Amino acid sequence: MAFKRMIHAVDTHAGTPMRVITGGVPHIPGRSVYEKMKWLEANDDQLRKLMLREPRGYPAHCCNIIVPPSHPEADAGYVIMEQIEYPVMSGGNTISVATVLLEMGLLPMREPVTELVLEAPAGLIRVRAECANGKVKSVTFRNVPAFAAHLDAEIEVPHLGKVRVDVGWGGMFYAIADVRQFPGLDLIPQHGREIARISAMIRQAAIEQLPVAHPEYPGVGITISQLSGPTDDPNADWKNAVTMASGDFSWDNPATWTGALDRCPCGTGTCAKMAVLHAKGELPLDQDFRHQGILGNVYTGRLVEETAIAGRRAVVPEISGTSWIYGLNTLVLDHDDPFTEGFTVGDTWA
């Protein structure tokens, strides 16, 4: 063959680029999508690095692999890949996967509403897609239960001092801090470098000081952070900037105190924020929560019911948002290319 690997993908974005692999990946063993994810992590992590590092990716890139579902109710499965991990759930990526499946004809589109069941590593995700003229106009999905793990916890962050944070699960564990604790810092693109620096430091301090556990995903800890605050936009209720890790963090190396900002309003981050607000008595069931990202676009969330996870109070969130296809891609790895896992450089990567 002319190439060592050839991957077919559809590139989408909701601000953040979210690649959806539709072909070129050999059979992935596993009795469930969760098991397929764990097999990839252990046996073919090269694919994640190849898709997300340079020259085929960049720090804020995410990627998904369409896989056969294992559950009889599911129409399709997908494995989510990010720069440092395989999340069991991602909201923006779910919206992108549903958009690709329908707009590319991988599953039949029914107008005005198409209902799907997708199998994420976290389990079944029920989707309603509003469709018109062959396009997906909006995707609403019901997420796995979300909950608050810590409320108003005070942590000591080196070089920042005491910071008050919440920790919420919305498919990932988020350390969430109110941006108003940092005078002069605004949730705007121009402050992106400082947002990433402060967020990375908060995330690491929270990892070290605030233990978390999910009964279904042993070993999964805090991996992501969110700065949030009020917005003056009448079309939104709250604003956020989520920072994703793009490499290892070391207190001894300030060059690692950074990350990549999520350019979309962040679906699992919105679920975690809603769970925290509900636990504080600030967000009731069945009330829209319009969560604005750093670019100004909005995901609309709502809590549809209360539930429990291993005896812990939890809520079931729904998220609505839109993703747009921007490219059809065939990515290859040349037999002579020495960078078989891609590469990172410290000018833009941690």
Residue 179 is classified by DSSP as G
Give yes or no for a contact between 175 and 221, defined as CB atoms under 8 angstroms apart.
no
Largest CA distance in the chain: 60
- Under the banding of pLDDT at 50, 70 and 90, the label for residue 275 is very high
198 and 176 housed in the same domain: yes
Q: How many other C-beta atoms are found inside a 10 Å radius of the C-beta of residue 131?
A: 20
110 and 165 housed in the same domain: no
Give yes or no for a contact between 288 and 258, defined as CB atoms under 8 angstroms apart.
no
Q: How many other C-beta atoms are found inside a 10 Å radius of the C-beta of residue 112?
A: 9
133 and 162 housed in the same domain: no
Alpha-helical runs (H) found in the chain: 33-43, 45-52, 91-103, 192-209, 267-279
The answer to whether the pTM exceeds 0.75 is yes
Give yes or no for a contact between 47 and 53, defined as CB atoms under 8 angstroms apart.
no
Q: How many other C-beta atoms are found inside a 10 Å radius of the C-beta of residue 235?
A: 11
Residue 158 is classified by DSSP as T
88 and 163 housed in the same domain: no
Q: Identify whether 90 is a catalytic site residue.
A: yes
Instruction: Identify the residue whose tokens are 């949030």.
Output: 228
49-76 residue pLDDT tens: 999 999 999 999 999 999 999 999 999 9
Catalytic residue among 90, 199, 225, 320: 90
137-179 residue pLDDT tens: 999 999 999 999 999 999 999 999 999 999 999 999 999 999 9
pLDDT above 90: residue 350:
no
341 found inside a domain = no
340 found inside a domain = no
77 found inside a domain = yes
47 and 101 housed in the same domain: yes
Question: What's the chain's average pLDDT?
Answer: 97
Question: Distances in Å between the alpha carbon of 103 and those of 6, 161, 163, 193, 337?
Answer: 22, 49, 44, 35, 34
228 and 93 housed in the same domain: no
14 and 136 housed in the same domain: yes
Q: Identify whether 271 is a catalytic site residue.
A: no
87 and 210 housed in the same domain: no
Cis peptide before 112 (omega within 30 of 0): yes
Q: How many other C-beta atoms are found inside a 10 Å radius of the C-beta of residue 311?
A: 7
Give yes or no for a contact between 84 and 118, defined as CB atoms under 8 angstroms apart.
no
Q: How many other C-beta atoms are found inside a 10 Å radius of the C-beta of residue 187?
A: 20
Residue 176's nearest CA partner among 193, 192, 155 is 155
50 and 98 housed in the same domain: yes
pLDDT above 80: residue 326:
yes
Which amino acid is located at 246 in the chain?
A: S
81-108 residue pLDDT tens: 999 999 999 999 999 999 999 999 999 9
Q: Which two tokens stand for residue 206?
A: 């929270």
203 and 56 housed in the same domain: no
345 found inside a domain = no
β-pair type (113-120, 123-132): antiparallel
Q: Which two tokens stand for residue 334?
A: 């040349």
- Under the banding of pLDDT at 50, 70 and 90, the label for residue 304 is very high
Helix axes 45-52, 33-43, angle to 10 degrees: 80
Number of domains in the chain: 2
Domain that holds residue 225: 147-320
117 and 209 housed in the same domain: no
Does residue 350 or residue 222 have the better pLDDT?
A: 222
Q: Which residues of 254-263 are buried (b: 16+ CB within 10 A; e: fewer)?
A: eebbbbbbbb
311 found inside a domain = yes
339 found inside a domain = no
Q: Which two tokens stand for residue 329?
A: 């891609």
Residue 143 is classified by DSSP as P
10-60 residue pLDDT tens: 999 999 999 999 999 999 999 999 999 999 999 999 999 999 999 999 999
- Under the banding of pLDDT at 50, 70 and 90, the label for residue 294 is very high
59 found inside a domain = yes
* CA–CA distance, 165 with 178 (Å, rounded to integer): 7
Q: Which two tokens stand for residue 347?
A: 């000018």
Phi-psi region of 171 (alpha: psi -120 to 50; beta: other; left: phi over 0): left
Assign residue 207 the CATH number of its domain: 3.10.310.10
44 found inside a domain = yes
Helix axes 91-103, 267-279, angle to 10 degrees: 140
Catalytic residue among 131, 264, 266, 271: 266
181 and 309 housed in the same domain: yes
